[in-house]
Amino acid sequence: MDLAIRGTRMVTFRDGRPSVVQGGTVGVRDGRITYVGPDDGFEGRAEREIDGAGHVTMPGLVDAHVHTGPTLLRGAAQDVPEIEWMNRALGPLADHLTDDDRVVGAKLGVLEGIRSGVTTFGEYASDVGRLVEEVYEPWGVRVAATETINAVADDADLDPDVPYPFDERTGRTALDRADALSDDYADSDLVIPTYGPQALDMVPLELLEETFAHAAERDCRVHVHVAQGRRERRQIEARYGDDASTVGVLEDNGLLDERLIAVHCHDATPEERERLAESGAAYVGCPSSIAAIDGVTPPVEWFRRRDAPVGLGTDQAPGPGGHDMLREVRTAALLSKTVHADPTALPAWEALRLATLGGATALGLDDRIGSLEVGKRADLVVIDAADPSVAPVVDEPFSTAVPNLAHSASRAAVDTVVVDGDVVLRDGEFVDVDERDVIDEAQERAERVFEEGAADWRAAGSALVDRADEGWL
Ligand SMILES: [Zn+2]
């Protein structure tokens, strides 16, 4: 045995339920969970033993939809109308991010995620292979690496009522990169290649069909932003005719099935959602992001009630703020309760399940991660039950561990993070990564990006320019 966490309170999510057990042991060999059960049934010794007393051990969290690249732009765009967010507030600054800035942004975003207990990231980026090589692989973090495929020729100030001009070559180059990634990592446990046609309004139908075909040949998932808002709907109508919708076009072309990971969907009608749920497609909701950018609660609880595979994601730092998945669990639960005007909506155990087993299922990884079960890869989080944001935890007449984790735990309570059997964070400190270095470099680069983008940002004239001039920012 390589590693054992002894005497711990376990939240397993075996069979989809938290099933809290006191006085348990999780044993790990060759990156795989080989024992989950009572302490006294554990035989032998492990090379490395972690005392889990006073701690809760649970499956690693899955951030099922995330763009860590723009993390240097945290705080750059929020509190503006949705129509201004990208083109006038974030875009003028984002144009000044170099590829190297995006790598450093990714490092910062991944650090933040790990600190909140994330062990798998559904990373979505153009040239995602570079983030795999420079961040995920060297740090030993699991990633569903999604290559963005976008063929829009020029995304500046396009008229939503005229079909966007497509540049076939840009789209095809991205598809080639996605193919190469899936060939390179076909046998990897830690890197799961995924195809990312950005959205139906940004990719020609033929290229989308080809992307699904390539993904099917390689048994990969296809991760798509679906029904993101009125602008997308207008664009789909302009291209495919009145009353056309993203869900309708996908369905008519045989692309609505288990391979699809549909993100957002807040602009899908209840009837369209019904067809999505029936198709077996997975759904990922990003409650903080969609609340911050659109002022809307995404239909997380809606899909959950229909037993669709549902995961949660943090999307990007600018707008919602960051990649803290514990905070996302709480946000998902509370927003679901308010939007349904129902305190029974998205209960604590379900919110926590979506952030673990749910996300794993949505990404097609539930056979290897998402619960504490013998045979699964060892992705674990150990949380300090004595942290002021978690304590007290009692076990009789019922356990308060799950509500305390889902509604209250701050990431400061995350003590140890294990990915594929390797300890990444121990006693709240990174084992192999110099966190200070990453933060210092991110700070330096962010100052440069904001300085270089200042004139463009001002000229774009978002509402934030006036707010800054008035002294609110
Ligand atoms: Zn996204």
**Domains detected in the chain:** 3-59+372-430 (2.30.40.10), 61-362 (3.20.20.140)
Q: Which of these, 322, 341, 331, lies nearest to 442 by C-alpha position?
A: 322
Distance 411 CA to ligand 1 centre (A): 23
Distance 333 CA to ligand 1 centre (A): 20
Beta-ladder partners of 196? 148
pTM of this structure? 0.98
Q: Which of these, 86, 370, 122, 332, lies nearest to 224 by C-alpha position?
A: 122
Distance 449 CA to ligand 1 centre (A): 22
Distance 47 CA to ligand 1 centre (A): 41
Beta-ladder partners of 27? 4, 35
Cβ atoms of 59 and 371 closer than 8 Å? yes
Widest distance between CA atoms in the chain: 68
State both tokens at 398: 């019922």
Q: Which of these, 64, 144, 65, 72, lies nearest to 107 by C-alpha position?
A: 72
Alpha carbons 147 and 184: distance in angstroms, whole number = 13
Distance 313 CA to ligand 1 centre (A): 9
| Residue at token pair 């998945």 | 325
| Residue at token pair 């198709």 | 279
Distance 148 CA to ligand 1 centre (A): 10
Alpha carbons 40 and 28: distance in angstroms, whole number = 16
Distance 56 CA to ligand 1 centre (A): 31
Distance 370 CA to ligand 1 centre (A): 22
Distance 147 CA to ligand 1 centre (A): 12
Helices and strands of the chain, counted as H and E runs: 18, 17
Distance 169 CA to ligand 1 centre (A): 23
| Residue pLDDT tens, the chain, 473 long | 899 999 999 999 999 999 999 999 999 999 999 999 999 999 888 999 999 999 999 999 999 999 999 999 999 999 999 989 998 999 999 999 999 999 999 999 999 999 999 999 999 999 999 999 999 999 999 999 999 999 998 765 688 899 999 998 999 999 999 999 999 999 999 999 999 999 999 999 999 999 999 999 999 999 999 999 998 999 999 999 999 999 999 999 999 999 999 999 999 999 999 999 999 999 999 999 999 999 999 999 999 999 999 999 999 999 999 999 999 999 999 999 999 999 999 999 999 999 999 999 999 999 999 999 999 999 999 999 999 999 999 999 999 999 999 999 999 999 999 999 999 999 999 999 999 999 999 999 999 999 999 999 999 999 999 999 999 99
Q: Which of these, 44, 53, 60, lies nearest to 2 by C-alpha position?
A: 44
State both tokens at 326: 């514990």
Cβ atoms of 296 and 320 closer than 8 Å? no
Looking from the CA of 278 toward its CB, the CA atoms found within 13 Å total 8
Using N-to-C axis directions, what is the helix angle for 325-339 and 287-294, rounded to 10°? Answer: 60
Distance 121 CA to ligand 1 centre (A): 13
Cβ atoms of 153 and 167 closer than 8 Å? yes
Cβ atoms of 291 and 341 closer than 8 Å? no
Q: CA–CA distance from 119 to each of 56, 111, 201, 278 (Å)? A: 16, 11, 32, 30
β-pair type (414-419, 21-29): unpaired
Distance 65 CA to ligand 1 centre (A): 6
Strands, DSSP E only, in 30-107?
A: 32-38, 48-51, 55-59, 61-66
Distance 242 CA to ligand 1 centre (A): 26
Distance 367 CA to ligand 1 centre (A): 25
Q: What's the pLDDT score for residue 93?
A: 98
DSSP state, residue 201: G
Beta-ladder partners of 264? 226
Distance 226 CA to ligand 1 centre (A): 10
Distance 12 CA to ligand 1 centre (A): 29
Distance 357 CA to ligand 1 centre (A): 21
Distance 263 CA to ligand 1 centre (A): 7
Distance 225 CA to ligand 1 centre (A): 6
β-pair type (55-59, 380-384): antiparallel
Alpha carbons 346 and 407: distance in angstroms, whole number = 11
Distance 122 CA to ligand 1 centre (A): 10
Q: Which of these, 116, 96, 17, lies nearest to 455 by C-alpha position?
A: 96
What amino acid is encoded at 173 in this protein?
T
Distance in angstroms between the alpha carbons of the first and the last residue of the chain: 54
Alpha carbons 282 and 327: distance in angstroms, whole number = 22
* DSSP of 361-383: HHTT-TTTSSS--TTSB--EEEE
Distance 133 CA to ligand 1 centre (A): 21
Cβ atoms of 194 and 259 closer than 8 Å? no
Alpha carbons 407 and 390: distance in angstroms, whole number = 9
| Residue at token pair 């001002």 | 458
Cβ atoms of 402 and 395 closer than 8 Å? no
Distance 70 CA to ligand 1 centre (A): 11
Distance 385 CA to ligand 1 centre (A): 33
| Residue at token pair 């990231």 | 121
Distance 315 CA to ligand 1 centre (A): 5
Distance 67 CA to ligand 1 centre (A): 6
Q: What strands, in cross-sheet order, belong to the sheet with 61-66? A: 61-66, 118-125, 142-149, 191-197, 222-226, 260-264, 282-285, 310-312
Q: CA–CA distance from 426 to each of 66, 78, 117, 416 (Å)? A: 24, 34, 12, 4
